[in-house]
Structure 1
Amino acid sequence: MTASPAPAAAALTTRAQAVSSRIVDDILTLVRQETSSYDLPGLAAGLDLLRELTVQRLGQPDHEHRYPGGECGDTLTLTYAGTGTGAGPGAGHVLLVGHYDTVWPTGTLAGWEQPGASEDGREKLGGPGIFDMKTGLAQGIWALKLARESGGPVPTVTFLFNGDEEIGSLSSRPVIEEAAQKADVTLVLEPTAHGAVKTARKGTGIFQVTATGVEAHAGLAPQDGASAITALSEFVVAAAKVAAPDRGTTINTGLFRGGSAINVVAGQATAGVDIRVSSEAEQARVDEELDAITVSDPRVRIEIDHAWNRPPMTLNAASAPLLALAREVAREQGRDSLPDTAVGGASDANFVAALGLPVLCGMGAVGDGAHAQGEFIYPDTVPAQTGLVAGVLGRLARPLRG
């Protein structure tokens, strides 16, 4: 692996410390604009705000494109050409990926209570999406700003902001895959796992299960009916038994809807099932065993939409040198180590890893509580995380060589 000369990561981190309050202000600006995955006007306003903030910090991009998301939030790419000796033929190209949608319904912010300090007295900042992952977005923007201001070589950087990650990246996946194939390296600005980068993630399935029964009057002729709700309940209980936590496979029915009236035997019911697997072998086993489930009333038809959303992610051969480089930068910052870990959640990094391309995930916030009311970050970690990404960018002014 070769690396271009670049400003010391320690110096970049010191500079990030000097502007830490401004970075935190940008984080809070993004948090105050609610961007629920299902609120299209809120998502549009959030993406406009994110673009405005990027341009304020970095100037007008050399290229940009907004991809309509249809029923999902739009995806925006902003490309900034490399500077210094790293620009021109042979220059590196880094893709920075981050989603701006959150799991929180619009209106959540009004009732959000700020967390108290941690047991050791460290300050916390909370808010819907602050950890997952608006802090990572702001840190990524500032990382490029600091790297450019350092005077050292900087790669071409493309930001990809998508508004549908929390619901499966349904419209943005092809944009992500195409952008990753054009770049040399992808860094995903998802939150860390208590400071560790994420090099392995589970694959995910978002299955829809539909039960079709026979409607009848619940009082006059219940025997003529075949309850879709009863049958689907049987299916859900059986599906839970297919899980194998010891193999990394979990199955959770998170949504259940059915029936038309309280005095009608339900003719229709649907369930949304979240499935996590660590291997393709488990994926195949789950498919087979779910299809084999039967219900007690043969008049009810069960249909399963096997929608595998993200493939499992592992530390592939292309990503190993990138992890080593990030660790070099962390050591230069004065860190004892930069651990990596496997996590149960999936991200857009899964798509990139499945293509065999170099990717690191979890380059963003340090905190905890993703998808929970206590979601928070430690603001005192913002300079180090911003400096880490800035330092990595400096070393990617030319492509990695294995």
Structure 2
Amino acid sequence: MTASPAAAAAAALTTRAQEVSPRIVDDILTLVRQETSSYDLPGLATGLDLLRELTVQRLGRPDHEHRYPGGECGDTLTLTYAGTGAGAGAGAGHVLLVGHYDTVWPTGTLAGWEQLRPSDDGRDRLSGPGIFDMKTGLAQGIWALKLARESGAPLPTVTFLFNGDEEIGSLSSRPVIEETAQKADVTLVLEPTAHGAVKTARKGTGIFQVTATGVEAHAGLAPQDGASAITALSEFVVAAAKVAAPDRGTTINTGLFRGGSAINVIAGQATAGVDIRVSSEAEQTRVDEELDAIKVSDPRVRIEIDHAWNRPPMTLNAASAPLLALAREVAREQGRDSLPDTAVGGASDANFVAALGLPVLCGMGAVGDGAHAQGEFIYPDTVPAQTALVAGVLVRLTRPLRG
């Protein structure tokens, strides 16, 4: 039986992705070898230059580009390649591909990192700082557009948005992401998959700073005159942990704690960094209220909370459902049994897009595991299929999903 045109095109994309897979992996490793810690501005600048150069090598010069200074964060770069669909811009559709190039790993981590790791299941694994989260997604996204172009099919306009501050909250890039997403028809975020599943729901995040201000005094001569900020903040942290409600999707973790000036001084100040994850706006409100209600035993200590909600919760909104259905259709055409979707506890830049009510799919990147953990890895044998999936979706988005 003769294959349908859609099935034949899907098979051709898959075959071509398999043929060029070694080159895609080479590009992945090129990006990994340039360390881009979120806090290393020179490294981030070099990394973004390398990423731009790689994109131009594979796709040619963009029709439009803009570099947004990040200040104390890495810069954000947009590169736009005009579509070739009907009207080539008027009705051709516009897809935004988002990916961050910063990593959680301090500069110098790469030295001594074992790159090729054996696995219990007999599959090769490639490892490196940032390879899973998310430099593989960056390379796959670039090659996806390259393969889609080579197919000769009409294409939407595609804008790449590369930001260097996602791991620290997208502090400077958020307005660029939101503005650019509103100009596009759909957004695909090239974050890693969840064991092959796309991510349609993510928790909202809060990055709270809690400051305790007490009264300093000599710890030996006049301890009664002091009011320990460390003791009070410790009480607060213990109470805050009890506000968590895992059954409702709410977790609270104090990851940083600093305080005091000397061992023989009653601490006059202490600070804590608290990571909060919630699945709903209702939980966000509850957490705010209950943290504000916490009292410490010494009334002389003042507790101040900076309620810094960083990303809103993300759910599969009505605008994104047709995009998920389209991605599943492409996956079937390319020979996959299914394309599952899932909810995860981590947040990404997709949260911002979903909160605007716009179509977005996250987790279109690497298949592997170990994000933010020593030894994060990808399965290189999944690179062709993931690249072909994004390419196939691009080919099908010549017309916008939404009006």
> What's the TM-score, normalizing by structure 1?
0.97
Supply the distance in 2 between the matched residues of 1:262 and 1:177 (Cα, whole angstroms): 47
Q: How many angstroms does 1:287 deviate by?
A: 0.4
Supply the distance in 2 between the matched residues of 1:49 and 1:250 (Cα, whole angstroms): 37
Q: How many angstroms does 1:280 deviate by?
A: 0.6
Secondary structure at the aligned position of 2:303 is classed as: strand
Secondary structure at the aligned position of 2:358 is classed as: coil
Secondary structure at the aligned position of 2:153 is classed as: coil
Q: How many angstroms does 1:89 deviate by?
A: 1.4
Q: Are the aligned partners of 1:194 and 1:366 in contact in 2 as well (CA < 8 Å)?
A: yes
Q: Are the aligned partners of 2:89 and 2:156 in contact in 1 as well (CA < 8 Å)?
A: no
Q: How many angstroms does 1:158 deviate by?
A: 0.3
Q: Deviations over 1:233-281 (max 9, x none)?
A: 1100000000000000000000111111111111111100000000011
Supply the distance in 2 between the matched residues of 1:283 and 1:125 (Cα, whole angstroms): 38
Q: Deviations over 1:172-226 (max 9, x none)?
A: 0000000000000000000000000000000000000000011111121111111
Q: Deviations over 1:2-23 (max 9, x none)?
A: 9998972221111011000000
Supply the distance in 1 between the matched residues of 2:263 and 2:40 (Cα, whole angstroms): 31
Which runs of 5 or more residues in structure 1 are unaligned? none
Q: Are the aligned partners of 1:177 and 1:352 in contact in 2 as well (CA < 8 Å)?
A: yes
Supply the distance in 2 between the matched residues of 1:86 and 1:13 (Cα, whole angstroms): 28
Q: How many angstroms does 1:61 deviate by?
A: 0.5
Which runs of 5 or more residues in structure 2 are unaligned? none
Q: Which residue is 1:215 aligned to?
A: 216
Cα distance 1:148–1:241, how it changes in 2: closer, same or farther (>3 A)? same
Cα distance 1:337–1:78, how it changes in 2: closer, same or farther (>3 A)? same
Q: Are the aligned partners of 1:198 and 1:343 in contact in 2 as well (CA < 8 Å)?
A: yes
Supply the distance in 2 between the matched residues of 1:220 and 1:62 (Cα, whole angstroms): 72
Q: Are the aligned partners of 2:89 and 2:157 in contact in 1 as well (CA < 8 Å)?
A: no
Q: Are the aligned partners of 1:257 and 1:269 in contact in 2 as well (CA < 8 Å)?
A: yes
Q: Deviations over 1:338-379 (max 9, x none)?
A: 000000000000000000000000000000000000200000
Alignment of 1:148-167 (within 5 A): 148-167=149-168
Q: Deviations over 1:10-49 (max 9, x none)?
A: 2111101100000000000000000010111111111010
Q: Are the aligned partners of 1:72 and 1:163 in contact in 2 as well (CA < 8 Å)?
A: yes
Supply the distance in 2 between the matched residues of 1:168 and 1:76 (Cα, whole angstroms): 17
Q: Are the aligned partners of 1:91 and 1:398 in contact in 2 as well (CA < 8 Å)?
A: yes
Q: Deviations over 1:93-130 (max 9, x none)?
A: 00000000000011100031235322221000000000
Supply the distance in 1 between the matched residues of 2:72 and 2:237 (Cα, whole angstroms): 28
Secondary structure at the aligned position of 1:142 is classed as: helix
Cα distance 1:2–1:165, how it changes in 2: closer, same or farther (>3 A)? farther
Secondary structure at the aligned position of 1:86 is classed as: coil
Identity %: 94
Supply the distance in 2 between the matched residues of 1:105 and 1:212 (Cα, whole angstroms): 31
Q: Which residue is 2:226 aligned to?
A: 225
Secondary structure at the aligned position of 2:136 is classed as: helix
Q: Are the aligned partners of 1:4 and 1:395 in contact in 2 as well (CA < 8 Å)?
A: no
Any runs of at least 4 consecutive aligned residues in structure 1 with deviations exceeding 6 A, and if so which? 1-7
Supply the distance in 2 between the matched residues of 1:86 and 1:22 (Cα, whole angstroms): 33
Moved more, 21-30 or 77-86: 77-86
Cα distance 1:344–1:147, how it changes in 2: closer, same or farther (>3 A)? same
Secondary structure at the aligned position of 2:146 is classed as: helix
The answer to whether the aligner puts 1:331 opposite 2:362 as a matched pair is no
Q: Are the aligned partners of 1:4 and 1:396 in contact in 2 as well (CA < 8 Å)?
A: no
Supply the distance in 1 between the matched residues of 2:156 and 2:14 (Cα, whole angstroms): 19
Q: Are the aligned partners of 1:2 and 1:401 in contact in 2 as well (CA < 8 Å)?
A: no
Q: How many angstroms does 1:314 deviate by?
A: 0.3
Q: Are the aligned partners of 1:210 and 1:302 in contact in 2 as well (CA < 8 Å)?
A: yes
Q: Which residue is 2:128 aligned to?
A: 127
Supply the distance in 1 between the matched residues of 2:245 and 2:12 (Cα, whole angstroms): 47
Q: Are the aligned partners of 2:133 and 2:191 in contact in 1 as well (CA < 8 Å)?
A: yes
Moved more, 133-142 or 221-230: 221-230
Q: Deviations over 1:38-69 (max 9, x none)?
A: 11111111101000000000000000000000
Supply the distance in 1 between the matched residues of 2:302 and 2:143 (Cα, whole angstroms): 54
Supply the distance in 1 between the matched residues of 2:93 and 2:11 (Cα, whole angstroms): 22
- The Cα RMSD (Å) is 2.4
Moved more, 79-88 or 268-277: 79-88
Q: Deviations over 1:65-85 (max 9, x none)?
A: 000001100000000001254
Supply the distance in 1 between the matched residues of 2:361 and 2:272 (Cα, whole angstroms): 34
Supply the distance in 1 between the matched residues of 2:192 and 2:89 (Cα, whole angstroms): 32
Alignment of 1:232-247 (within 5 A): 232-247=233-248
> What's the TM-score, normalizing by structure 2?
0.97
Cα distance 1:189–1:86, how it changes in 2: closer, same or farther (>3 A)? farther
Q: Are the aligned partners of 1:86 and 1:397 in contact in 2 as well (CA < 8 Å)?
A: no
Q: Deviations over 1:272-297 (max 9, x none)?
A: 00000000110000000000001111
Aligned length: 402
Q: Are the aligned partners of 1:95 and 1:186 in contact in 2 as well (CA < 8 Å)?
A: yes
Q: Are the aligned partners of 2:330 and 2:392 in contact in 1 as well (CA < 8 Å)?
A: yes
Supply the distance in 1 between the matched residues of 2:304 and 2:212 (Cα, whole angstroms): 6
Cα distance 1:262–1:111, how it changes in 2: closer, same or farther (>3 A)? farther
Q: Are the aligned partners of 2:198 and 2:362 in contact in 1 as well (CA < 8 Å)?
A: yes
Cα distance 1:344–1:98, how it changes in 2: closer, same or farther (>3 A)? same
Moved more, 349-358 or 256-265: 256-265
Cα distance 1:223–1:363, how it changes in 2: closer, same or farther (>3 A)? same
Q: Are the aligned partners of 1:96 and 1:187 in contact in 2 as well (CA < 8 Å)?
A: yes
